[in-house]
Amino acid sequence: MFFRSILIFLYFITFINHAYANFDITIINLYPPKCSILEESKVLLCPRIMEIDVDIGKQKYKKLVNCIVFSEEEEVLAFGENYIYPPRGKVYLTIREARRKIHEMKLIANAECKFTE
């Protein structure tokens, strides 16, 4: 009986730790692409890279964090992943080819990050 109680307790502790693992990620800031304008032709040049600051909480080891940025219409705007060392780090996101003219509109987006196993 005592042995069964210990096993149930260990299983419960393991499950609780695993169940709350995805809630440790906090998105601090989402940076739009850094654009520059050419003086002669007045053309706006923007890279296909966005940055997102992520806080992974009280993790002990580096974790692979996968992030996706969605538009208001739930389209995927950008995606990327990076190994983050606790407590904070940056994930560099690649803007999809179809959404390259992101600089010509207001960026109203939702970001979602999770740990990748």
Query: Which domains are assigned to the chain?
Result: 25-115 (2.60.40)
Q: What is the mean pLDDT of residues 2-22?
A: 55
Q: Model confidence over 80-107: pLDDT tens digits?
A: 999 999 889 999 999 887 655 544 555 6
User: How crowded is the C-beta side of 16, counted as CA atoms within 13 Å?
Assistant: 6
Nearest-angstrom CA–CA distance, 65 and 79: 11
Q: What is the mean pLDDT of residues 3-28?
A: 61
Q: Which residue has the higher pLDDT, 86 or 8?
A: 86
Q: Which residue has the higher pLDDT, 19 or 8?
A: 8
> So what's the pLDDT on residue 106?
58
pTM, to two decimals: 0.69
